[in-house]
Structure formats: C-alpha cells, structure tokens
Structure 1
Amino acid sequence: MSANVPIVRQVSWPAVLIISLVLAGFIAISVFFFQIHGIIMGIAFFWALAVLLNQTIPTSHNKGMKAIKRKDFKVALEYFKQSADFFTKYAWVDKYRAITFLSASKMYYREIALCNIAFCYVQTMEAEKAKSTYEEILKEYPGNGIAYYALNSINTFSKKID
C-alpha cells in the first residue's frame, strides 16, 4: 500500500516581503526604462533572475532532490552532504537566502540538507546514522518538527523491536 505524503513548505513571511520589494524594484526600474512594457519586463527580469539563482546556488540540493525522486538514496546522500557543506561554509548565503537566491523558505537550506541526509539514511537502512543525524539537527535547530517526529518514530520502533 502506498500513500502520497503531503509536503508542507514553511514560508518565512519577512522573506516574502523582501522578495516582493525586490520584485517591485525590478518593476520600477523597468517602468523607468521601458515605460509601456515596463511591468512585464520587470516581472520577466525578476523571474529570470530567480530561476537562475535557484538553479545555480543550491546545485547540490537540487541534484539530491532529483536523486530522491529516482529513489537513488545513496547518490542523494552524497549530494545532500555537499549541500550541507556548502551552506556551512557559506552560512551567509543561507542566512540571507531571501536576497541571495530569492527563497522564501522558513527553514535554512543547511537544515533541510541535514533532514534529507537523515531521511536517506533511513531509506538505506542505516538507522543509527539517521538517529544521530536527527539528534544533531535538534541540537542545532531545536524547533525542527521533521527531526523531532522522525526521531520519535525511530525510538518507538526500536523499542518495539527490542
């Protein structure tokens, strides 16, 4: 039996405001230069920039997501490790993601990468690594519901097996 698991993407409303202001800036500049078609040109420039930034900055993250969709969890694991390393090294890119790559995600991309790493460990039957990764996530991001509930599930099932 399979079920579609709903995915809820948490949105940072301050980031939505920042992104809206960036869009308004693009429209204003385009209206100044292109007058009649300025609104359309501003939206087109903004959209092109958003696509470009979202394809180039979180490259490893995007490749990891594609690997998960193919159910290739070992490959996805390596990409998510690269993503976590990138966003650890360049924490400012992740912190200011509303500006750096026009993302309204409430979760940090490093946090998402760590959750995906733990998920891949679960899928590859490496429960201890998954458990320690979820514990690491909760130490760094105490409000992470994904890690909290996944860790509860792992602990519950491991008690039933014992």
Structure 2
Amino acid sequence: MASGTPIIRQINWLALAFQLCVFVAMVFLFQFLQVGAPSLMAIAAYLVLVYFLRFFLAKYHRYGMMFIKRNDFEHAIPYFESSYAYFQEKPWLDRFRAIFLLSSSRISYKEMALVNIAYCYSQLGNGAQAKAYYEQALKEFPDSAIAKAGLNMMNAAGKEEAE
C-alpha cells in the first residue's frame, strides 16, 4: 500500500551484518539437522523470527506506522506515545535492537517515536506540539538529523507565515 507519506529508513550496516550472520547460522543449523533445502528453511525461519519479534516487542510502533501510512495521524500519536513509553521502560531492548529485534535501523525506537509524533502533529496543523516534540527529540538525541530537519522546516514555515 503506497502512500504519499515519506518514510525514512536509516540503516546501521553493522546491524545488517549481524542479521546476515544470524541467517548464515540458521543455514548451518538446518544443514547440521539434515533438513531438506536448508537455505529455504533458514529464510522461512528467519522471516518468522523477525515477524514475531517485531509483532510482540515493537507492536506499538508497528501500529503507529500503520496509521501514518493511512494518513490517520490523530490515531497514530497514541501508539507512538505508547512505543516511546515501552522503550523508555526497556532501554536495553532499544539499545540492543539489532540483537533482540533484528532491526537494522540506525535510529532508536524512542527517537523514531518522538519524530513520528512531531510529524503527526505537524500534519494535523498543530505546529506548537510538533516543535515541542522535535525539540524533545533533539534534547534526548542531539545528533538526530530527522529532528533537526523537521525543526528547521517548522521554523522556516513560521518565518514565511510572519512575512
């Protein structure tokens, strides 16, 4: 389902290499167990593993993204807030997401939650809330290129309205 909503994916290549190692280990495991078509079994097992890890551990983020793709920004916000709270309570899960979620994302789920909330508010026309969340993202993640770009865009839009 294609939508006009921009989706930004920043890849952590080291995490991607780790995922490849997990896959290769699964191939060897299925070869050791003498399962027919070990590569196909490893692909299937890997996809099932990734699906279940993300289904259960990153469910709030997944639901928020589902609503963003539908351009239903109002309903996406509570899911991103829940995602932020979940990963706030379990910082180790977010920090080691490459291992526990097999995620190759360079940015954390907490950072994603904050910038997604800000984006949703900006799409709903609530610039003050959007700026507040972009600023919170920069406070917690000073190198967040997405939050910097979003805040710059909000500030530029504010200057144009003033003129």
TM-score (norm 2): 0.90
Aligned to 2:100: 100
Aligned to 1:18: 18
What 5-or-longer segments of structure 2 have no aligned partner?
none
Aligned to 1:62: 62
* Aligned-partner Cα distance in 1 for 2:79–2:32: 43
- Within a 5 Å distance, the mapping from 1:7-156 to structure 2 comes to 7-156=7-156
Deviation for aligned residue 1:35: 4.8
Deviation for aligned residue 1:56: 1.7
Aligned residue pairs, count:
160
Q: Which moved more, 1:3-12 or 1:117-126?
A: 3-12
Q: Deviations over 1:51-91 (max 9, x none)?
A: 21122211011111111122221110001000111111111
Structure 1: 4+ residue segments shifted above 3 A: 3-8
The letter for the 1-side match of 2:39 is I
Contact 1:32–1:38 (CA under 8 A) maintained in structure 2: no
- Cα-Cα RMSD: 1.7
TM-score (norm 1): 0.90
Contact 2:77–2:117 (CA under 8 A) maintained in structure 1: yes
Deviation for aligned residue 1:5: 6.2
Overall identity of the aligned pairs, in %: 36
